[in-house]
Structure 1
């Protein structure tokens, strides 16, 4: 039974581009058949705490006897189990101040665990080769050759964590100029074209992964 882990993190509950695009992904995924299931986690509505102990960066066998509160350990295990059980992951990752939302960063801190999800001692990469689709919405322009081309540190960090460390096959779908309605110089027509292109790319990925 193919399972999609669908994650949203936008604080905008009404007009979010990333929420709209992850919804398209999930709808296309489930349209492939009743066996295509979805596990959904909204990191804004149901916010995760920060790590309670440095020991949570490691699996129990590598914690040197440091105890993690039972509730914190149970939540981290729940998040790890969700991720490890997923065949495909789609993440709504709007760009906030050139990086990912803090709610999404808290999720990353819980699931990036050397010795469980990334290599350390005898552990390998249990998620190697599994698809992860990162959907990024950026308020301004990040066109190739522009001064701000490399300012999207949110997608870059997720590509490192999910791709390099966890070994997943990461695809970034980006739509920019989302502030064109309030900053006309960005170009509302260009913004609309980017969003439509992103929507078509999302449908294609959800149909084939």
Structure 2
């Protein structure tokens, strides 16, 4: 059994998305002790910013005419796709940055789509479970002043759920900046509750994904 984990927070310490993703991983490992967890950390090991353009243009170039840089980008795209395709389940940590996804995550997704196996119309990941852990510094829920300002989560659901056909479960922790922002001090109880709820949902996802993987292998 293999769980693929992607971390995209620029913070390696104090990251809520990493912390909640830990809960998914712990629950998975509790059900499958010793099973493989393939991790990719895009903050510690960012992808080359020009890799997607080279992989995309390589797809429109005959193999014999590709530059060494294009060939390397194609290999990288295949490596990233291999990691996801080989997993029985996945968890992705995605903080909300400037109302969207991090540049690291966008590059990773673009490279996945550059691989022919995950290109438009291809769904080898159909039905594969994915926990999408979203951390938002403020409040973006219904009725809040910034309702609808989270442009990352709907896009990620579109890519992984609609384009890739994965079974996406969204786990959200909101108001994560309340502990460090004095202006948000009166929201700290709500932030703590949101964080606690996110951990509970993450643990449930990890257990469910493990059970599904076990049933599929039986």
Same fold, TM-score > 0.5, yes or no: yes
- Structure-2 residue corresponding to 1:19: 18
Q: Distance in 2 between matches of 1:186 and 1:37?
A: 42
Deviation, 1:55, is: 5.7
Whether 1:38 and 2:29 are equivalent positions in the alignment is no
> Contact 2:96/2:136 (CA < 8 Å) preserved in 1?
yes
Report the TM-score, using the length of structure 2 for normalisation.
0.86
Deviation, 1:56, is: 2.0
Which structure has more helix as a fraction of its residues? 2
CA deviation vs aligned residue, 1:29-66 (integer Å, no higher than 9, x gap): 111123632100000000001244646238x7x52425
Deviation, 1:141, is: 0.7
Deviation, 1:186, is: 5.5
- Structure-2 residue corresponding to 1:74: 75
- Structure-1 residue corresponding to 2:196: 196
Query: 1:125–1:186: structure 2 CA closer, same or farther, 3 Å change rule?
Result: farther
Whether 1:5 and 2:11 are equivalent positions in the alignment is no
Q: Distance in 1 between matches of 2:83 and 2:132?
A: 17
> Contact 1:177/1:186 (CA < 8 Å) preserved in 2?
no
CA deviation vs aligned residue, 1:125-182 (integer Å, no higher than 9, x gap): 1001111111111111112122312111111111111111111111111111111121
CA RMSD of aligned residues (A): 1.9
- Structure-2 residue corresponding to 1:113: 114
Poorly superposed stretches of 4+, deviation over 3 Å: 51-55
Instruction: Work out which of the residue numbers 151, 154, 157 in structure 1 matches 2:155.
Output: 157
- Structure-2 residue corresponding to 1:63: 60
- Structure-2 residue corresponding to 1:135: 133
Whether 1:177 and 2:143 are equivalent positions in the alignment is no
Report the TM-score, using the length of structure 1 for normalisation.
0.89
Q: Secondary structure at the match of 2:97?
A: coil
Q: Distance in 2 between matches of 1:45 and 1:76?
A: 18
- Structure-2 residue corresponding to 1:83: 84
Query: 1:164–1:86: structure 2 CA closer, same or farther, 3 Å change rule?
Result: same
Deviation, 1:72, is: 1.9
Q: Secondary structure at the match of 2:117?
A: coil
| Structure 1: runs of 5 or more not aligned | none
Q: Distance in 1 between matches of 2:186 and 2:166?
A: 34
> Contact 2:6/2:42 (CA < 8 Å) preserved in 1?
yes
**What is the total number of aligned residue pairs between the two structures?**
203
Q: Distance in 2 between matches of 1:67 and 1:139?
A: 43
Query: 1:192–1:116: structure 2 CA closer, same or farther, 3 Å change rule?
Result: same
Q: How does 1:44-59 map onto structure 2 within 5 Å?
A: 44-52=43-51, 54=53, 56-57=55-56
> Contact 2:113/2:120 (CA < 8 Å) preserved in 1?
no
